[in-house]
């Protein structure tokens, strides 16, 4: 595999969703929850951290475990999981990790002297009288903390609001003092939940979860997951706790709303919940988000795309790609693993990944891996039955005359090679039954220029696709 910036940006055997990216000392650090491959619920693993130099987003380094599930108070049996966290630098220069665990609707805080060292429990966010936020009468449950520190104040954003739940008003903003724990301004609602959105401008994109906050110039960007789950939306204001106006969608993990290469409402991946944020890296802006793998909601992987922020502050929605961290197309030669697919679908459309038996019975294609969680096994696409299509974007093609693929499985048929999801086949590659990975090839001319590549299986049985090679 060529050393380039790829999506997902971490190794295919790593499952870190809910990414909150920051630049500290010329390195990008990503904090998130930590799913388990083939897990049965969200966030089963300890918090880990990965980092990369700002000038090389292909070179991610594993910083190790920064906080264990057993570091949760009274959680020696790991009965509670670590949900999506966020990190900020306090007035004292230390790094503060804010999180909510799966058994309590309160915000806990851990602290460390370095961005990716061992964090130690510090305390709970509380009112001046000592009452814990989320436990006082009238408090709404706390979830998915996002934080921003300016001077001696830290702005804390929290919330989870399902459709129709009138007990949840929307995303909350709470102001903390210099000790990073004590509330100095009580929670206010900055973005409405679905029952309270009429006339707000948020209709159809009301707050669901995943609040995150960034500041660019004098403008605060509030990033969140809407009630349709697959999209990350944003609202802006000149003030951190009021006046946020809905502006649009930044990214969708099934490419809904994108009409540049397909109908706007056609799903091109099996989507699900989404969580992430924006960050400036080496004078370019990116959105971090996650995708779903393994045919479930519980094995999510981080992806990133470069975004444009226009002069008026608007962020046009971006496509999911295989080359987001690369600042341009991938090289149009060499071998690429199939887990880089940014489009994955079949004739039976589904907007969402669904862990129920009914969804699995249809045997939709899925990105998966061999082995167990933690095994450094390269991912591949399984369950490629009749009409299953894997798409990869983008490649700078020049002089490609032959394509090879690695396939295994109980299958007998052909892979069509196309440069658009519904375009004509430029050629076919015949494949057959094999218990091991076998390489098949065909002479196929790909037009020169920036191209997408799509592989559609037509035949009997179920194929697994490991990689393709451009020659």
> Active site residue: 35, 101, 209, 255, which one?
209
What pLDDT is stored for residue 360 in this prediction? 52
Provide the token pair at 373: 């969680």
CATH architecture of the domain formed by 332-470: Sandwich (2.60)
User: What local confidence, expressed as pLDDT, does residue 285 receive?
Assistant: 98
Can 209 be counted among the known catalytic residues? yes
For the question of residue 206 being annotated catalytic, the response is no
Confidence (pLDDT) at 363: 74
Angle, alpha carbons 173-44-21 (nearest 5°): 45
Q: Which of 18, 35, 140, 144 is catalytic?
A: 18
The 3-state secondary structure of the chain reads CCCCCCCCCCCCCCCCCCCEEEEECCEEEEECCCCCCCCCCCCCCCEEEEEEECCCCCCCEEEEEEECHHHCCCCCCCCCCECCCEEEECCCCCEEEEECECCCCCCEEEEECCCCCCCEEEEECECCCCCECCCCCCCCCCCCCEEEEECCEEEEEECCCCCCCCCCCEEEEEEECCCCCEEEEEEEEEEECHHHCCCCCCCCCCEEEEEEEEEECCEEEEEEEECCCCEEEEEEECECCECCEEEEEEEECCCCCCCCCCCCCCCCCCECCCCCEEEEECCEEEEEEEEECCCCCCCEEEEEEEECCCCCCCCCCCCCCCCHHHCCCEEECEEEEHHHCCEEECCCCCCECCCCHHHHHCCCCEEECCCCCCCCCCCEEEEECCCCEEEEEEEEECCCCEEEEEEEECEEEEEEEECCCCCCCCEEEEECCEEEEEEEEEECCCCCEEEEEEEEEEEEECEEEEEEEEC
Q: What is the pLDDT of residue 3?
A: 87
Query: What are the boundaries of each domain within the chain?
Result: 20-328, 332-470
- The tens-digit pLDDT sequence of the chain (471 residues) is 458 999 999 999 999 999 999 999 999 999 999 999 999 999 999 999 999 999 999 999 999 999 999 999 899 999 999 999 999 999 999 999 999 999 999 999 999 999 999 999 999 999 999 999 999 999 999 999 999 999 999 999 999 999 999 999 999 999 999 999 999 999 999 999 999 999 999 999 999 999 999 999 999 999 999 999 999 999 999 999 999 999 999 999 999 999 999 999 999 999 999 999 999 999 999 999 999 999 999 999 999 999 999 999 999 999 999 999 999 999 999 999 999 999 999 998 899 997 555 555 567 999 999 999 999 999 999 999 999 999 999 999 999 999 999 999 999 999 999 999 999 999 999 999 999 999 999 999 999 999 999 999 999 999 999 999 999
Give pLDDT, residue 361: 53
pLDDT confidence of residue 356: 54
Nearest CA among 34, 16, 22 for reference residue 116: 22
Task: Say what the pLDDT of residue 2 is.
Answer: 58
**Is the CATH number 2.40.160.10 carried by domain 20-328?**
no
CA 139/CA 120 separation, integer angstroms: 27
């Amino acid at each position: 595999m060529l050393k380039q910036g790829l999506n997902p940006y971490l190794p295919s055997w790593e499952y870190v969703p809910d990414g909150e990216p920051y630049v500290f000392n010329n390195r990008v650090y990503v904090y998130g929850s930590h799913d388990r491959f083939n897990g049965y619920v969200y966030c089963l693993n300890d918090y880990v951290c990965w980092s990369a130099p700002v000038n090389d987003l292909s070179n991610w380094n594993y910083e190790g475990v920064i906080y264990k599930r057993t570091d949760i108070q009274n959680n020696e049996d790991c009965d509670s999981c670590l949900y999506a966290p966020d990190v900020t630098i306090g007035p004292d220069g230390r790094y503060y990790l804010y999180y909510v665990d799966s058994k309590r609707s309160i915000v806990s805080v851990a602290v460390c002297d370095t961005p990716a060292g061992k964090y130690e429990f510090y305390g709970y966010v509380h009112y001046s009288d000592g009452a814990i936020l989320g436990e006082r009468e009238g408090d709404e449950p706390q979830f998915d903390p996002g934080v921003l520190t300016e001077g001696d104040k830290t702005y804390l954003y929290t919330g989870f609001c399902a459709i129709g739940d009138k007990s949840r008003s929307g995303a909350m903003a709470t102001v903390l003092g210099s000790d990073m724990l004590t509330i100095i301004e009580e929670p206010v609602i900055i973005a409405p939940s679905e029952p309270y959105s009429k006339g707000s401008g948020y209709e159809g994109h009301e707050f669901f979860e995943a609040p995150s906050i960034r500041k660019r110039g004098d403008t605060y960007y509030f990033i969140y997951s809407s009630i349709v789950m697959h999209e990350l939306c944003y609202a802006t204001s000149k003030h951190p706790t009021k006046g946020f106006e809905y502006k649009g969608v930044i990214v969708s993990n099934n490419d809904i709303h994108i009409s540049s290469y397909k109908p706007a409402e056609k799903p091109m991946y099996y989507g699900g919940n989404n969580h992430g944020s924006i960050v400036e890296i080496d004078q370019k802006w990116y959105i971090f988000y996650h995708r779903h793998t393994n045919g479930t909601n519980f094995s999510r992987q981080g992806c990133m795309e470069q975004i444009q922020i226009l002069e008026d502050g608007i962020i046009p929605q971006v496509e999911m790609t295989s080359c987001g961290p690369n600042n341009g197309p991938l090289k149009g030669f060499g071998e690429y693993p199939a887990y880089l697919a940014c489009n994955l679908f079949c004739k039976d459309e589904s907007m969402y990944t669904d862990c129920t038996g009914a969804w699995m019975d249809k045997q939709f294609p899925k990105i998966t891996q061999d082995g167990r969680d933690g095994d450094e096994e390269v991912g591949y696409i399984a369950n490629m039955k009749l009409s299953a299509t894997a798409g990869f974007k983008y490649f700078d093609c020049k002089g490609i005359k032959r394509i090879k693929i690695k396939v295994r499985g109980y299958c007998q048929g052909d892979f069509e090679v196309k440069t658009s999801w519904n375009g004509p086949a430029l050629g076919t590659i015949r494949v057959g039954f094999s218990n091991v990975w076998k390489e098949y090839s065909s002479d196929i001319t790909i037009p020169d220029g920036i191209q997408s590549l799509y592989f559609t299986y037509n035949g009997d049985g179920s194929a697994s696709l490991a990689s393709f090679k451009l020659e």
